[in-house]
Amino acid sequence: MAERRPVTNARTTVRVGEESLERGAGGELHQTAGADTPTLTTAQGIPVADDQNTLRIGARGPSALEDFHFREKIFHFDHERIPERVVHARGMGAHGYFEAYESLADITRADPFQEKGKRTEVFVRFSTVAGNKGSVDLARDVRGFAVKFYTGEGNWDLVGNNIPVFFIQDAIKFPDIIHAAKQAPDRGFPQAQTAHDNFWDFISLTPESMNMVMWIMSDRTIPRSFRFMEGFGVHTFRLINAEGKSTFVKFHWKPKLGLQSVVWNEALKINGADPDFHRRDLWDAIQSGNFPEWELGLQLFDDDFADRFDFDVLDPTKIIPEEEVPVRRVGRMVLDRVVDNFFAETEQVAFCTQNIVPGIDFSNDPLLQGRNFSYLDTQLKRLGGPNFTEIPVNRPRCPMHNFQRDGHMKMDVPKGRANYEPNSWGLGPREDPVRGFRSHPTPEQGVKERVRSETFADHYSQARQFYLSQTETERAHIAEALIFELSKVETPAIRARMVAHLLNIDDSLARNVADGLRLKDMPAAADAALPTRQDLKESPALSVILNGPGSFAGRKVGALVTDGADAAVLQALKAALEKAGAMLEIIAPRIGGVEASDGTWIDADHEIDGGPSVVFDAVALVVSDAGAALLTNKPPARDFIADAFAHLKFIGYVEAAKPLLQKAGVLDSLDKGFIALSGPADAAAFVATCGDLRLWEREPGITPV
């Protein structure tokens, strides 16, 4: 890739809304420093000239190891918590395998891709980012999607998220974004939320975050299940074949069950009903034999494409639209075994971005370069010493031979006198120039300085592209999310500053948010380092709704039943769901169950207080006349129906359930989302209808845009 001219280090004054701010060398915005403003220093008291960019060789080159300020800042950040992870503390792991669809030997020598049908053991950990271990699963948050491949040539960790971009372009800002997103240090709240001043203050002063803002305010951050979300490697990597040829790659995980998210009100209620909803869902799916499955996709491109692409492929705040570089699906990952012990495996698993194997290499993405530098510090702090690689979940499945000795919690017992090389005893391993890992010999040149490439300077165009690629329903959700989050911000200037940025993304979005916040005065659009492009094509691949499953496989219906429930309807419903690869769970007035119309006993999975409709994808009301009369006096039964209606779910009902519909206030609002179960023959039609997951056309009448 050709070297591109760097931006100047000069600071300039810009206006964001009604505020006069200073733009730094990295594009970040600062309130103008006063005469009494102290100088930022290192912990050793050394004044800091640039806190926005790591020291690198050339504007687009690799980071320099001598950057003591970055090293100290990341080192301190990595050691701020014990014993839980600083980020991604709340997680759930599972075992499985990756199976290659074809040989990729022409583009990489990486072990998992050498043979069609080759299986590689994996361990996957899903997580939320901002919350602590005791937080809830359905927080509005990015989800971690980390995969450890136990290959024949060592462990490869593909440490990703369910969103393909990130907040920042340079790893030196990572402590700042996480500090801002976490609970305020003086009060210790809010927990697992970004709806507070610190977060939006930082974001509104960091224009490079605007693309990520669109993603995190979208339905992507409230997924229905880990099983129904995508995963991304975020960064640009390289694949290297046996001849040393390099191909750029971006990694994608595509769920076989399609994408699905919840609505915000539903997320809040799920957190109250079952704060372990995502973790329980993954556990139950594997235990029941409904193994979650994803396909690994690769976006492959060369230097010529990288040079002509509209944005810099090293910028982690940007994507390459799938319409420009299609995703080539090269294998599948199946999770088929839960952990035996949560602490020993899920808690002690250590993912490190620098864990790559021959055939895979890094790019000069500055965020990736910093992550590679940081992760060993994190594992040392969390797991107590340098021997965390000997913990079973972290231990490679291939042989390990080296001269590393001793250290806290050493498990192996090395033999012999030689603990160094070269030695003349003929003992121990030796390097292998043929099989061994070799970094791609990329020529690097440039002035050693703290600077950011001008190719990273467009902060709004892809944010606009993402927003316009959503359906009208999803655009409304983004506006509602921004209004909700910013309504929790106590400082009016921060709210106005964010609206000023939104004006550079989409005028109607900005005005909807401003109206929702009731800003007295519309701010001027924020000064932009580069103008927002209007010519980027919409990308349907960015929409959750447009990439739904088209079936009800992997989903769950909750049937509210009473004594005298029509046994034939229930049996037909169960059979239709099983045929569709879905599940039926029974909710009864009491946990012991009910006696059906034919005298059979039906065990309950939940009693009505503990089985709200929010934990199901659709509901069915299979009650008797007497049972309906009993449930009309139970508020949880009313909420069961009212919430299902408000959350746009499909509702199957028998004639006897109409008094319940009346009590819930929805009998006069029956739409095509209500399916009458007049007899067993109607069960299949109900399940087929449920494949749409939501009746989105119902939403405008419930939640005004």
User: What is the DSSP pairing of strand 143-151 with strand 594-595?
Assistant: unpaired
Q: What pLDDT shows up at residue 704?
A: 41
pLDDT mean across residues, the chain: 93
Q: What pLDDT shows up at residue 41?
A: 78
Give the residue with greater pLDDT, 21 vs 345: 345
The type of residue at 297 is G
Q: Which of 44-53, 221-230, 289-298, 328-337 has the lowest mean pLDDT?
A: 44-53
The whole-angstrom distance between residue 93's C-alpha and the CA centroid of its chain comes to: 15
Q: What pLDDT shows up at residue 35?
A: 73
Answer for the pair 153, 358: CB distance below 8 angstroms, yes or no. yes
Q: Residue 97: which pLDDT band, with cuts at 50, 70 and 90?
A: very high
Say yes or no to pLDDT of 703 above 70.
no
User: Token pair of 369, please?
Assistant: 């370069």
Residue 161 bears catalytic tag: yes
Q: What pLDDT shows up at residue 705?
A: 33
Q: Residue 6: which pLDDT band, with cuts at 50, 70 and 90?
A: very low
User: Token pair of 704, please?
Assistant: 């005004």
Q: Which of 7-16, 55-64, 425-434, 683-692 has the lowest mean pLDDT?
A: 7-16
Q: At what angle do helices 174-181 and 366-383 cross, to 10 degrees?
A: 60
User: Where do we find the tokens 């790591």?
Assistant: 54
Q: What percent of the chain clears pLDDT 70, i.e. is strictly above it?
A: 97
pLDDT in tens, 566-586: 999 999 999 999 999 999 999
Q: Which of 184-188, 240-244, 346-350, 434-438 has the lowest mean pLDDT?
A: 434-438
Residue 265 bears catalytic tag: no
Give domain 551-701's CATH superfamily: Class I glutamine amidotransferase (GATase) domain (3.40.50.880)
Mean pLDDT computed over 409-435:
84
Give domain 87-164+223-390's CATH superfamily: Catalase core domain (2.40.180.10)
Q: Which of 69, 88, 252, 459 is catalytic?
A: 88
Q: Cis peptide leading into 275, omega within 30 of 0? A: no
Mean pLDDT computed over 265-277:
96
Q: What pLDDT shows up at residue 454?
A: 95
- Distance from C-alpha of 207 to C-alpha of 249, rounded to nearest angstrom: 26
The string of DSSP letters for 166-220 reads -S-SSGGGHHHHHHHHSPPTTT---TT---SHHHHHHHHT-GGGHHHHHHHTSGG
Q: What pLDDT shows up at residue 589?
A: 96
Say yes or no to pLDDT of 228 above 50.
yes
Mean pLDDT computed over 239-243:
96
Among candidate residues 148, 155, 102, 150, the one with its CA nearest the CA of residue 126: 148
Say yes or no to pLDDT of 5 above 50.
no
Mean pLDDT computed over 405-433:
84
Q: What pLDDT shows up at residue 3?
A: 46
- Domain ranges in the chain are 87-164+223-390, 551-701
The whole-model pTM stands at: 0.90
User: Token pair of 403, please?
Assistant: 């001269």
Mean pLDDT computed over 642-663:
97
Q: Which of 69, 95, 155, 161 is catalytic?
A: 161
The type of residue at 145 is F
Q: What pLDDT shows up at residue 86?
A: 81
pLDDT in tens, 513-549: 999 999 999 999 999 999 999 999 999 999 999 999 9
